[in-house]
Amino acid sequence: DTGVSQDPRHKITKRGQNVTFRCDPISEHNRLYWYRQTLGQGPEFLTYFQNEAQLEKSRLLSDRFSAERPKGSFSTLEIQRTEQGDSAMYLCASSSTPNGYTFGSGTRLTVV
């Protein structure tokens, strides 16, 4: 197992376009999290899945953001009608216990 994988590593998109990111967690981990990190700041929680159920969502997750984990394995995070303020590093993490996070390397989104 190579840890938590995120794809793509970098994404440059024009304002108004839709983007989708993928996260493949560690295979035996049933918990999956998405965080957003803007330049010079600490990561901020976006959403949490246990298996395929989305159990927690932050107020940061506006209507333009949607996350899925259809079979309780990989997850996708989609941003519709991107705005320049969406430029950030999007981090995925997984765990098998409530306090054993493993983070991926992140997807860096730049909206131009």
Partner 1 sequence: AQSVTQLDSQVPVFEEAPVELRCNYSSSVSVYLFWYVQYPNQGLQLLLKYLSGSTLVESINGFEAEFNKSQTSFHLRKPSVHISDTAEYFCAGQLGNAGNMLTFGGGTRLMVKP
The smaller minimum CB distance to partner 1, of residues 30 and 76, is found at: 30
The smaller minimum CB distance to partner 1, of residues 37 and 80, is found at: 37
Query: Which region among 19-27, 40-48, 64-72, 78-86 touches partner 1 (by CB under 8 A)?
Result: 40-48
Rounded Cα distance between 28 and 45, Å, is: 22
Residues in 17-36 at the binding interface with partner 1, rule: CB under 8 A? 31, 33, 35
Q: Is 2 helix (H, G, I), strand (E, B) or coil?
A: coil
Q: Which of 37, 57, 59 is nearest to 67 (CA)?
A: 57
Contacts with 18 (C-beta within 8 Å, 6 or more apart), sequence order: 78, 79, 80, 81, 82
Rounded Cα distance between 53 and 30, Å, is: 10
Contacts 24+ apart (CB under 8 A), 42-51: 43/91, 46/77, 46/90, 49/75
Q: Is residue 101 involved in binding partner 1 (CB under 8 A)? A: yes
The smaller minimum CB distance to partner 1, of residues 15 and 34, is found at: 34
Q: How far is the CB of 34 from partner 1 (least distance, A)?
A: 11
Q: Is residue 74 involved in binding partner 1 (CB under 8 A)? A: no
Q: Which residues here bind partner 1, judged by CB under 8 A?
A: 4, 6, 31, 33, 35, 40-45, 48, 55-56, 58, 91, 93, 98-99, 101-106, 108
